[in-house]
Amino acid sequence: MFVLATAFAEEYHSHKVLEMLKNLPDMTWTPSIPERFKGYTIKDMKSVYSQNSMQKHTAQNITYRAVDLPISFSWLIQKPECLEVRDQGDCMSCWAMSAVGSFSDNRCIQGKDATRVTYSEQYEISCDHIDRGCEGGYLQFDVSFMKKKGVPTNKCVSYKSGKDGKTRACPTKCDDGSAIPAHFKIDKYENVCQGEESIMAALTKGTIQTAFNVYSDFNYYTSGIYQHKFGSVEGGHAVVIVGYGEENGVKYWDVRNSWGPAWGEKGYFRIIRGKNECDFEKECFLQTVL
């Protein structure tokens, strides 16, 4: 028991692994030890990823048809004012961060809000009892909750679970003691992961929530186009696709993470496109908002 506890307390990142990654041929991304995770133990890293980000879904599968799609497209260029990088902190809330984050994006992109409004991840974490709060969640369950129940704004119920990793009780009032106003809801959600071109075409309608299997080497990512090279599966992680492009002949997706703007490429990363890398293109939801 003591040996197990000691092993768990060991620093996660290995300089031997880092040097090995740096010397691999044909690398399309730059490995390093991210500032976000410096000093993290093995136990700390295990608390970052959900074991439940993906599931066999029952949502409607929609194939979006590609008609004169541009070679590259990104909401970071088209409507940067509609996007925001959030930080999940010590709560395993990527499932809610990605669902509510895409909802916030798309209300701005689809013209429901004049400017980007940040909606409440905390409300979904605390009130969606089918999912597991700071212990993880499922993609379809969280968008289903937002369709049925909706969420208030972050101004009403702000994000608190990132400070201590605790889920917290479902609030009955806003942070200032006022009544929670009518919730904002998803009109519909569709699984658009029906091939590379379907995702590309759907992206022109709004940002898309997806999830993927995280391998050990992803924890060394700092920039570039990620491809899995080394290590075992650490868990599942939910993120938001915001665009696509190509660099030096390598096609990629532009993706927003929920680890703060200091991680990766200003809070974003790129992953190789069209190969279902790490099951990245297996299940993803485009939301249409009310």
Q: Is 5 domain-assigned?
A: no
Cα atoms found within 13 Å of the Cα of residue 243, Cβ hemisphere only: 18
Q: Is 9 domain-assigned?
A: no
Q: Which of 91, 94, 134, 278 is catalytic?
A: 94
Share the mean pLDDT of the chain. Answer: 93
- d(CA 33, CA 80) in angstroms, rounded, equals 28
Q: Is 8 domain-assigned?
A: no
Closest CA to 130 of 159, 163, 91, 170: 170
Q: Is 4 domain-assigned?
A: no
Q: What is 256-271 written as a DSSP string? A: E-SB-TTSTBTTEEEE
Q: Is 277 domain-assigned?
A: yes
Phi, psi of 72 (to 5 degrees): -135, 150
What pLDDT score was predicted for residue 43?
A: 87
pLDDT digits (tens, 9 = 90+) for 74-121: 999 999 999 999 999 999 999 999 999 999 999 999 999 999 999 999
What pLDDT score was predicted for residue 51?
A: 65
Is residue 52 very low, low, confident or very high in pLDDT (cuts 50, 70, 90)? low
> What's the rounded mean pLDDT across residues 249-256?
98
CATH of the domain at 43: 3.90.70.10
What pLDDT score was predicted for residue 92?
A: 94
As for how many domains the chain has, the answer is 1
pLDDT digits (tens, 9 = 90+) for 128-148: 999 999 999 999 999 999 999
DSSP state of 178: P
Q: Is 189 domain-assigned?
A: yes
Q: Is 94 a catalytic residue?
A: yes
Closest CA to 96 of 32, 46, 52, 63: 52
Q: Residue 177, exposed/middle/buried by CB under 10 A (0-12, 13-18, 19+)?
A: exposed
Q: Is 63 domain-assigned?
A: yes
Phi, psi of 10 (to 5 degrees): -65, 150
What pLDDT score was predicted for residue 61?
A: 87
In terms of residue numbers, what domain contains 173? 14-19+26-289
DSSP state of 61: B
> What's the rounded mean pLDDT across residues 190-207?
96
- d(CA 85, CA 172) in angstroms, rounded, equals 27
Say yes or no to pLDDT of 286 above 90.
yes
Question: What is the pTM assigned to this prediction?
Answer: 0.94
% of the chain exceeding 70 in pLDDT: 94
Q: Is 3 domain-assigned?
A: no
Cα atoms found within 13 Å of the Cα of residue 40, Cβ hemisphere only: 20
What pLDDT score was predicted for residue 4?
A: 39
Q: Which of 106, 154, 219, 257 is catalytic?
A: 257
Q: Is 276 a catalytic residue?
A: no
Q: Which of 13, 57, 228, 237 is catalytic?
A: 237
DSSP state of 38: T
Say yes or no to pLDDT of 216 above 50.
yes
